[in-house]
Structure 1
Amino acid sequence: MSIAFPKLSCDRFTGLFAGLVLTIPILTSCTAQPTSTNANQTPATQTASANSTDNNQAEKVVRIGYVRWGLLPIVRQRGELEKKLAAQNIKVEWVGPFPAFAPVLEAVNAGEVDFTSGGDIPGISGLVGGTPVCVIAYQPPIPEAEAILVKSDSSIRSPQDLIGKKVAVNRGGWGEHLLLKVLAQANIPKEQVERVYLSPTDALPAVTQGHVDAWSVWEPNVSIAEVEHSLRPIASGEAASHYGVYMVQKDFLAKDAAVVKATLEAIQQEADWAVQNKASAAELFGKSTDLKPDTVKQLGQEQIVEQVKPLTAQVISGIQERADWMYSQKAVPKQIDIRQSVCPATPGLETYTSIQQ
């Protein structure tokens, strides 16, 4: 298996489980630019790669871009996906990890990623920006995996107390969307709260050192902030439930639909395993992201598990509502029709490309 690790370029932007323990650790503020190397193959993936060479047919390759949260870090750490796909003469190349979904979509634009998953809001931003992907599956919302956090000794106790304050968010992502929805529900004009656009790496020290007053963020940053820095929530993700989305590069789907089918089915099996083995999944996630034991313990206790599901008309409508709302709030520059961004009907992938009612 060829694994891609990021080179860090600090002049670019860095910045609840599609059935999993949802988590994204505090990362560098640099955007990840993937390059290929074979340095960190596990025994399982080395065996899978060796087995795949026994097949006389030309080996297929799928490049999976992933962020440090959700199901995919667990899948990579477990090493079973590589073996399953190697048996079908498919080699997995991991591209990442990335600090957030936006730079993964940049990698798709650069022709470096074929298959990926991330949040619906950054996915919408990518679609608005013309990223050549289509949506093929989703994960149900996990509102308990998001929160607006403040320091333990802060005078801020409710959204009303955010008036005149600074809140760190990721531009065009879950954090910004959650903040805007919380303000709207509290009838607070968004202009009365200053949004400060920061990556997770920069947002944590900014809030702990008092440069901003609050932080709108997702797991595992929520657990990291609460366990390791004593931050506390003033609002949860209930105000803005978010889907996860699985996306495929359009040309890759057209050329290698069988590889997409095999990859998606294998990942769904991994999601099913994570649902049945939540503690083990949390442990694997912790290993994949170097989280501290107490943080991993909290994530395991929450038992947040990602599921991979075919798209339905209701889900598409829900994502459309989010896209329309983001446009109305000027968080994205133009409107899009989500139905036009769903993967087209594809032989062999009818379960995922024929919309369920």
Structure 2
Amino acid sequence: MYPKLRNLIAGAVGVGCLAAAAAPQQAEADTVTIGHFGVPTPWKVAAANGAFADATGVDIDWRQFDSGAKVISALASGSVDLTALGSSPSAVAIAQGVDMEVFYVDKVFASAEAFAVRDGAGITAPQDLRGKTIAVPLASTTHFHLLFALEQFNIPRSEVEIVNMSPNQAVAAWKRGDIDGAFVWNPALGEILKSGRLLITSGQLAQWGKPTFDGFVADPEFADENPEFMVSFVETLADINARYNAEKTEWTPESKPVKTIASFTGADPNQVPQVLGGIGFLSLEEQASKQWLGGGVATALEATSVFLKNQGKIDEVREDYGQVVDPSWVEKARAN
């Protein structure tokens, strides 16, 4: 089903085979700026070894961010052409009038995003959160899930002090004892869990009716002007994700792909396999399904927007979120 994937597997687990498997194509842009977070994902291998550049025929400037709010600013200013962005900050960006379209589901969260509480903070049950200080990056998927968790725990927002911190800031505050808990993602999550424990994961909250995900979003004008780039980019994403799904047990801390991901993101290679295991990576068929780009993404964005409006985080909810979801690039990649 994936012609490039067959070449990748034939080349075993060496990352160099990724670049060789992707045939260069002529793209309309000379350089493309792509935003991302430091979360370990399979496609970081293709980013690190130049497979995306080889497949698309352009130079790629990979720009790492530590919060959804900063990505929204970059999108609004036009300093990135496309980027990974969580479902909650995507809803915020849409409400703010940022021109963007979701064209690929980067990852589906399970245990890779979670609410952790610090040892010694006196939190043994959700009700103990009253009066505690919790760090979370505002306008992020974890912020959305933190508010949803408090709602499910019947804890008024006013009874918890929520402070806006990037994951790295949360780690530093955690070590100083300035915060009692944090709802963040890896690798920061793995670091704080060295002296804490999980209270609840995003996967559990998704089962309660509020799924979160990271999508790849693009400036629609850029996408329309660079169709060959978009299709090749999606194909490369699908190939490396399919490779990981087929070889999970081989991606150990000592393996070349995991070491490459760790080097690209700054994560501890010993933690990377566990992080990857807490995330779902979809096939092109799953991407195009009604559960995701075929309807589910728009539904999730609407539900997220309603929740954020009720929390006073955005001013309005759009009538149709299907207008900001574009499955065409996945469909074209499937047809190749």
Shorter-chain TM-score range: 0.7 to 0.9
In the alignment, what sits opposite 1:304?
279
In the alignment, what sits opposite 2:223?
253
How far is 1:96 from its partner? 0.8
Contact 2:258 2:269 in 1 (8 A): no
Q: Does 1:80 align with 2:45?
A: no
Contact 2:83 2:217 in 1 (8 A): yes
Q: If the length of structure 1 is used for normalisation, what is the TM-score?
A: 0.74
Structure 1 gaps, min length 5: 1-41
**Aligned pair partner of 2:260 in 263, 277, 284:** 284
In the alignment, what sits opposite 1:322?
304
Deviations 1:86-145 (A, max 9, x none): xxxx20312312223332332222222222222111111111122221111224632211
- How many percent of aligned residue pairs carry the same amino acid? 22
Structure 2 gaps, min length 5: 1-14
Letter in 1 for 2:321: I
Q: Distance in 2 between matches of 1:332 and 1:158?
A: 31
How far is 1:284 from its partner? 2.5
Q: Does 1:236 align with 2:201?
A: yes
Q: Distance in 1 between matches of 2:172 and 2:330?
A: 47
What are the within-5 Å matches in structure 2 for residues 1-357 of structure 1?
Answer: 60-71=30-41, 72-85=43-56, 90-139=57-106, 141-226=108-193, 229-237=194-202, 238-240=204-206, 241-278=211-248, 279=251, 280=255, 281-296=257-272, 298-299=274-275, 302=277, 304-307=279-282, 309-310=287-288, 311-336=293-318, 337-343=320-326, 349=329, 351=331
Q: Distance in 2 between matches of 1:203 and 1:298?
A: 21
Contact 1:148 1:217 in 2 (8 A): yes
Letter in 2 for 1:102: A
Letter in 1 for 2:196: L
Bigger fraction of residues in helix: 2
Q: Distance in 2 between matches of 1:235 and 1:58?
A: 45
Letter in 1 for 2:32: V
Contact 2:117 2:199 in 1 (8 A): yes
Letter in 1 for 2:213: Y
**Secondary structure of the residue that 1:208 maps to in structure 2?**
helix
Q: If the length of structure 2 is used for normalisation, what is the TM-score?
A: 0.78
Q: Distance in 2 between matches of 1:352 and 1:124?
A: 26
Question: What count of residue pairs does the alignment treat as equivalent?
Answer: 299
Q: Distance in 2 between matches of 1:169 and 1:59?
A: 36
Runs of 4+ aligned structure 1 residues displaced above 6 Å come to: 42-48
> Structure 1 residues 188, 254: CA separation in 2 closer, same or farther (over 3 Å shift)?
same
Q: Distance in 1 between matches of 2:137 and 2:173?
A: 13
Contact 1:45 1:83 in 2 (8 A): no
Q: Distance in 1 between matches of 2:189 and 2:325?
A: 31
Letter in 1 for 2:302: Q
Q: Distance in 2 between matches of 1:253 and 1:342?
A: 13
